[in-house]
Amino acid sequence: MAWLQRLGYRLIRPVLFALDAESTHERLLAWLERTQGSAWQTLYQLPRTHDPLSLAGLQFPNRVGLAAGLDKSARCLPAMSAMGFGFAEVGSVAPQGESWPARPRLFRLPQAKALINRIGYHREGLDSFVPALRQAREQLGEPGPEVMKLGVNIAHNVATPPERALSDHARCLRAVYPLADYVTINLSRPRVQGGPSEASGMAMPEWLQQIDTLRLALQDQHGRALPLFLKISPDLDEAQAGELAQALLDHIQSPAGKTLRWGLIATNTSADRTELSGLRHGAEPGGLSGLPLRTRSNQMITRFRQALGPDVPIIGVGGILSAGDALAKLHAGADLVQLYTGLIYRGPALVSEVARELAQARARATAPSTG
């Protein structure tokens, strides 16, 4: 019934787009929260495509995930599972709540199939995020290969001086470790100049080592290994990208790093505006997502896949509005993909469309040749 949902969303979209973008977002999330698990869920439910992938020590039911920022507070995970996602990432959350700039802070650019946002991280911080995460975990049920995987995206507070960023990351990691299937550390706050070393407050080799010392302690405490991902900006210059790739590679190949799993999420939103000249809202400050980000994100994936070799997991995100866009991410070197802006423009049917196409592409690639 994906066609019915596609048609339904096409009909309802003008109504949704008539409202201010953030109000629509809030209302939709509130509606999803209210309706998940009820009969109303059939309006957005689709069978989950079976396209399992074992990656970073996890069994993903399929290769399509929800990107961070849409369900910042982990309110709607049963709804996301019903839409057929193979994994979903909640947050970003930092230790303290973040105050957001005044409205409007989310803008649609329909001609470019893009969004610009300057919405901050979780508003209340860890104290209110963790109980919601615990509840979401219970709602998803016993972990298993067919259950949607749950990622948690953590960050340091905007006000934290760079030299104390690690202590924010450590606080968040300790708090979410027992509840997450994987954790993403967001080193790519949009609109902040500099590469990962600036974002993490220290040279990357030292930061990676410190995080892994903590990770080993948490692994012992909880009896469970947890993969970590770094989320990167599409705006890294060649030197910054090279420095990060080298640090990650050296770390992963070191005796200490060999036993622990690191991956990459490419990419976050961009500060670049080159494709938006003349468009309404095109000059708004904030992070750009959607179609204009697609090529930059793919270039970053290619760049890091070449540098890191075949074994480091990469999740590709940025500008997926069709199954073809997702396939291009896999061709660039990604193992899994995530969506955000595409959902706003295409509706929930995009999830099954992408998941099905990726599954079919894999079946085609592994089918015995008849020629």
Residue nearer to ligand FMN on the CB measure, 228 or 339: 339
- Cβ–Cβ under 8 Å, residues 344 and 63: no
Write b or e for each residue in 146-162: b if 16 or more Cβ atoms lie within 10 A of its Cβ, otherwise e: ebbbbbbbbbbbeebee
Binding site for ligand FMN (CB under 6 A): 67-69, 72, 92, 106, 115, 117, 119, 121, 153, 186, 231, 268-269, 289-290, 293, 317-320, 339-342
Tell me the residue nearest to ligand FMN as measured from the CB: 69
Q: Do the strands 314-317 and 336-339 form a parallel or antiparallel pair, or are they unpaired?
A: parallel
Q: What does the alpha-carbon distance between residue 50 and residue 226 come to, in Å, rounded to a whole number?
A: 24
Least distance (Å) between residue 66 CB and ligand FMN: 9
**CB-based contact 300:272 (threshold 8 Å):** no
Which residue number, 201 or 319, has a Cβ lying nearer to ligand FMN? 319
Q: How far is the CB of 292 from ligand FMN (least distance, A)?
A: 9
Least separation in angstroms between residue 342's CB and ligand FMN is 5
Find the shortest distance in angstroms from Cβ 254 to ligand FMN: 27
Pick between residue 188 and residue 257 the one whose CB is nearest to ligand FMN. Answer: 188
Residues 6 or more apart from 219 whose CB is under 8 A from it? 225, 226
Using the minimum distance from each CB to ligand FMN, give the nearer residue, 72 or 257: 72
Helices (H), the chain: 2-18, 21-35, 77-82, 126-140, 165-176, 196-200, 204-222, 238-253, 294-308, 323-332, 341-346, 349-366
Cβ nearer to ligand FMN, comparing 91 with 257:
91
Q: Write down the least CB distance from residue 243 to ligand FMN, Å.
A: 21
